[in-house]
Structure 1
Amino acid sequence: MTKDVYVITGGSEQVAIAVAKQIGARGTLVLVDSCEKCLELARQQLLQAGITDIHCETADLTSTQAVGKLAKKASELGALRGLVHMAGMSTDTDSKRMMADKVVGMNRVLEAFLPLANESTSAVMMSSMTAYMVPQNGQYMEVLKQQLSANLMETLDQFTQGDAGAANSMAKLAVQLIVEDQAWVWGQKGARLNSISPGMMDLPGDTGDIQTMLEHTPLRRTVEPEEIASAIEFLLSDSASYITGIDLRIDGGTIANYPRMKAAMSQQKMKRF
């Protein structure tokens, strides 16, 4: 009997490990990361949780060749049931590198794994609530829709002017636009493609604006990795069998209250575009 395979990029991230724990009993896990040591630590956590059918792969997801090898490995293990792309969750101070990791890397992954997609396949891409903070009427909107153009990074860097925060938000918006666009081709295989946008996580060193945002978030707290994982588990499951091409916010209501929040916060600090 062919095994179900679940591929999770950014496999050493807290959320990735939480997802792996929730779906690990359903099939073979393929954890992907650029850090071999980090993957081993993640594998140990999963082994302690009783999840043993794990394959760890290191790869540069911006490399077509590397991602192609990754897809081949997954195909040899069984049928692609789930693809969860979390690589690039962490903030990088280099705006161009951030764009490459999050936009180009995601495109490479979708391109390589599309041939493996079938009617049981569901793919979930990681976006962020910060994508909703980007005005969607700028010239960059057309650029974001041409995600693999030769000068994408340089063009977007002109808009963000090297601001890592702005680059992160714009990259996350690109994720949503890619999902909307690619849902059609994945649908031709009977597969589903969605994105999720988590809100604020409890990260070391978060102060200032983060606290103000929490004060204007209806649920008044950060999101837990397990809560994000539960939403991903739902989108991977048959319970979401008619859901594709959407972005699911898991933000405690932050974006719903964003206009009032923005008015309450310093315009100087909030304005990035």
Structure 2
Amino acid sequence: MTKDVYVITGGSEDLAIALAQHIGQKGTLLLVDACEKCLGQVKQQLEQKGINDVRCETADLTSKQAVGKLAEKTSALGSLRGLIHAAGMSNTSDSKRMMAENVIGMSHVLEAFLPLADEATSAVMVSSMSAYMVPQNGQYMDALKQQLSANLLETLNQFTQGDAGAANSMSKLAVQLIVEDQAWAWGEKGARLNSVSPGLMNEPGACEDIQTMLDHTPLRRTAEPEEIASAIGFLLSDSASYITGIDLRIDGGAIANYPRMKAAISQQKTKRFQ
């Protein structure tokens, strides 16, 4: 009997680990990350929880050839049941690298794994609530949709001016736009493709702006990785069999309250200079 395979990129991230624990008993896990040592530690952690069918691969997802080899290894392991792209969540200050990881890397993943998709396949790309903070009427919208154009990074860098925060938000918006665009191609294979946009995770109150954001988030707290993993698990499951081409916000209501949040942050910044 052919095994179900779940591929998780960004395999050493907290979210990826929580997701691996959530779906680890459903089939073979293929964890992908740039850090071999990190993957080894995650595999050991999962084995301690009784999740033993775990394979690890290191790869640079900005390399089309490397991603192609990942798809080949996945095919050799079994049938692609789930594809979760959680890479690109690092806090790098290099705006071009961030764009490459979030946009180019994801595009390579979608292109390489599409031939493996069938009616039982569900793919989930990880975006961010910060994508909703980018005005969606700029000239950059067309550039974001042309994710594999030769001069994409240079074009987007003109809009972000090297600002890492702007690059992250804009690239996460690209994730959502690409998912909307590619849902048709995946649908032709009978497969589903969605994205999720987590809210604030990790340390609350790491800086004043973050605390202000939390104060104006309806649930008044950060998200636990397990909460994001549970939502992704739903999108991977047959319970979401008619859901595709959408972005699911998992942000504690932050974006719903964003106008007031934005005003509060602006007021807070004004006070600092008084």
TM-score category, normalised to shorter length = over 0.9
Cα deviations by residue, 1:189-215 (Å, 9 ceiling, x for unpaired): 000000000000023882110000000
SS of equivalent residue, structure 2 residue 57: strand
Q: Which runs of 5+ in 1 are unaligned?
A: none
Indicate yes or no: 2:152 matched with 1:156: no
Query: 2:117 maps to what in 1?
Result: 117
For 2:122 and 2:194, the matched residues in 1 are separated by 8
Amino acid at match of 2:90: S
For 1:136 and 1:91, the matched residues in 2 are separated by 24
For 1:269 and 1:174, the matched residues in 2 are separated by 28
Query: 2:39 maps to what in 1?
Result: 39
For 1:215 and 1:204, the matched residues in 2 are separated by 10
Indicate yes or no: 2:211 matched with 1:211: yes
Query: 1:241 maps to what in 2?
Result: 241
Amino acid at match of 1:89: M
User: Is contact 1:228-1:250 (8 Å) kept?
Assistant: yes
For 1:201 and 1:243, the matched residues in 2 are separated by 25
Query: 2:179 maps to what in 1?
Result: 179
Cα deviations by residue, 1:1-49 (Å, 9 ceiling, x for unpaired): 0000000000011110110111110100000000000000110110011
Amino acid at match of 1:208: E
User: Is contact 2:7-2:84 (8 Å) kept?
Assistant: yes
Query: 1:74 maps to what in 2?
Result: 74
The count of residues paired between Structure 1 and Structure 2 equals 270
User: Is contact 2:124-2:232 (8 Å) kept?
Assistant: yes
RMSD between aligned alpha carbons? 1.3
SS of equivalent residue, structure 1 residue 110: helix
Indicate yes or no: 2:96 matched with 1:96: yes
Q: Among the aligned pairs, what percent are the same residue?
A: 79
Query: 1:224 maps to what in 2?
Result: 224
Shift of 1:269: 6.0
Amino acid at match of 2:104: V
Shift of 1:261: 1.0
User: Is contact 1:91-1:168 (8 Å) kept?
Assistant: no
Shift of 1:92: 1.1
Indicate yes or no: 2:64 matched with 1:53: no
SS of equivalent residue, structure 2 residue 25: helix
Amino acid at match of 1:29: L
Cα deviations by residue, 1:250-273 (Å, 9 ceiling, x for unpaired): 000000000111112227969xxx
Amino acid at match of 2:199: G
Amino acid at match of 2:73: K
For 2:151 and 2:267, the matched residues in 1 are separated by 31
SS of equivalent residue, structure 2 residue 245: coil
Amino acid at match of 1:37: K
User: Is contact 1:131-1:172 (8 Å) kept?
Assistant: yes
User: Is contact 2:204-2:222 (8 Å) kept?
Assistant: no
Amino acid at match of 2:134: V
TM-score when normalising by structure 2: 0.96
SS of equivalent residue, structure 1 residue 159: helix
Amino acid at match of 1:127: S
Task: From the superposition, tell whether residues 31 and 116 of structure 1 become closer, same or farther in structure 2 (CA, over 3 Å).
Answer: same
TM-score when normalising by structure 1: 0.97
Q: Which runs of 5+ in 2 are unaligned?
A: none
Task: From the superposition, tell whether residues 267 and 113 of structure 1 become closer, same or farther in structure 2 (CA, over 3 Å).
Answer: farther
Indicate yes or no: 2:196 matched with 1:196: yes
Amino acid at match of 1:262: K
For 2:264 and 2:28, the matched residues in 1 are separated by 48
